[in-house]
Structure 1
Amino acid sequence: MKNRIIYTLLILGIVSCKAQTITLKQLSECQNGLYPCPSYTNAKDTDNLLEKFVGIWKGTYTDGRTYEFRFTKKSDDGEPNERKWDILIGKMVVKTSNGNVLYNSLNNNDLNSIGGFYFDKELKKYQMSYTANADCNDGGYVYLSFPDSNNLNQMKLVFMQDMDIIASCPNGYKTVIPDAKAIMLTKQ
């Protein structure tokens, strides 16, 4: 009888621990309303969905600005005693066509970088939050995807600006990443 109680408690402990961790795939499905989110404390990248984005990516926009993005995977991101999940962290250098640095976040800490959220329901696009200059409403979401799923060396990045009220911004200010325009990046 004593062994049966210990065995039952052990099984309940294993089941409750498993219920506290979900995959990034499960997180994307419940975040996109496919089903209610289970109670969880951690979302793990058990299928290595983030790995294809990790690395240095470079591209040039039509106005001549060059972009270098560095994406790394961070495990168990989150505050103590709160939910944690595996995410991408992005940092970048943007230069004018003549090589002058417009923006550089390579030395920023993770909190002041491009921070990951989750995938869309088809697991094709990864959403990240981004702010370069809050006073000029230069912030919103960055979406990463691969136009050709057979070519993981070419990635598309699109920035979608938040539509907040601009507090104070110089005349003619351009967002660091063009709003609602794709930048094609090549893995280095």
Structure 2
Amino acid sequence: MKNIFLLGLILFSIISCKAQTIVPVEKAIDYRRAGGIPDNTYLKDVNNLLAKYTGTWKGSYGGKNYTLYISKTTSKFYQVTRDMLLIRYLITSSNGIVLDDTRSIPDNSPFITEGSYFSKDLTTYALDFAGKNAICGNAGTVFIRIKNTVNTSMSFGYEPDKIMISNDDCPGFKTAELTFPKDGLMLTKQ
């Protein structure tokens, strides 16, 4: 009787297990276009494409100093695991006053800029951004691109989401001040 029970348990375990499919992280855009990532998929950085972006990057624009702290992490959401970049940042005025700082918030905070996908030609990496007062328009997509072969110069672009705002959430239908400039900025690796 014990043997039958043990055999049944083993068969149940084998049938209920599904193998995880490892897919290069650069294929995420294909899944995005197709409508989603299948369960039990691991979008893995098998070709080490994310490493060149990690580290501390600095730049200035419009009287503000931007310091980005980019790290690589592995995240699991439901049945999908993926390697991605996270961006934390410190923004100060030209005289050193802290305007925004996300350095100490946890990885699962909605204010962490989270990696999404590479462009088809692998030159640009897109990340999802939601800043403070995102409901009033301070949210969108960040695009980063290494600009030289020694990986010390990076362009940073920001495209705000086009959303409808309400007078209840945003009195006078006033949109929020954007965290990042829409004109983009150049950053240097530290």
- TM-score interval for Structure 1 and Structure 2 normalised by the shorter chain: 0.7 to 0.9
Measured at CA, do residues 183 and 169 of structure 1 come closer, stay the same or move farther in structure 2, by a change above 3 Å? Answer: farther
SS in 1 for 2:26: helix
Structure 2: distance between partners of 1:88 and 1:144: 11
Q: 4+ runs of 1 displaced by more than 3 Å? A: 28-33, 36-40, 169-173
Give the conservation status (yes or no) of the 8 Å contact 1:28–1:123.
no
| Alpha-carbon distance between aligned partners in 1 of 2:31 and 2:175, rounded to the nearest angstrom | 41
The question of whether the paired residues in 1 share the 8 Å contact of 2:39 and 2:79 is answered with: no
Q: Distance in 2 between matches of 1:120 and 1:44?
A: 16
Q: Distance in 2 between matches of 1:175 and 1:183?
A: 14
Aligned to 2:81: 84
> Are 2:101 and 1:104 aligned?
yes
Identity of aligned residues (%): 26
Aligned residues: 165
Letter in 1 for 2:87: G
Change (3 A) 1:143 1:187: same
Runs of 5+ in structure 2 lacking a partner? 1-17
Kindly indicate whether the alpha-carbon contact (under 8 Å) linking 1:114 and 1:131 is maintained by their aligned counterparts in 2: yes
For residues 44-92 of structure 1, the C-alpha deviation after alignment (integer angstroms, 9 at most, x for no partner) is: 001000000000000001x1100000011002x122x421100001100
Q: 1:155 and 1:129 mapped to 2: Cα distance?
A: 18
Deviation at 1:38, TM superposition (A): 7.1
Task: State the 1:110 CA deviation.
Answer: 1.1
Match in the other structure for 1:144: 144
Q: When the two structures are superposed, what TM-score results if normalisation uses the length of structure 1?
A: 0.78
Structure 2 CA distance for partners of 1:103 and 1:37, relative to 1, 3 Å: closer
Please say if residues 40 and 79 of structure 2, whose CA atoms lie closer than 8 Å, have aligned partners that are also in contact: no
Unaligned ranges ≥5, structure 1: 1-15
CA RMSD of the aligned region, Å? 2.4
* Conservation of the 8 A alpha-carbon contact between 2:60 and 2:185: yes
Q: Deviations over 1:99-143 (max 9, x none)?
A: 111100001111220101110111111110111121431111111
Q: 157, 173, 177: which is aligned to 1:174?
A: 177
In structure 2, the partner of 1:28 is: 29
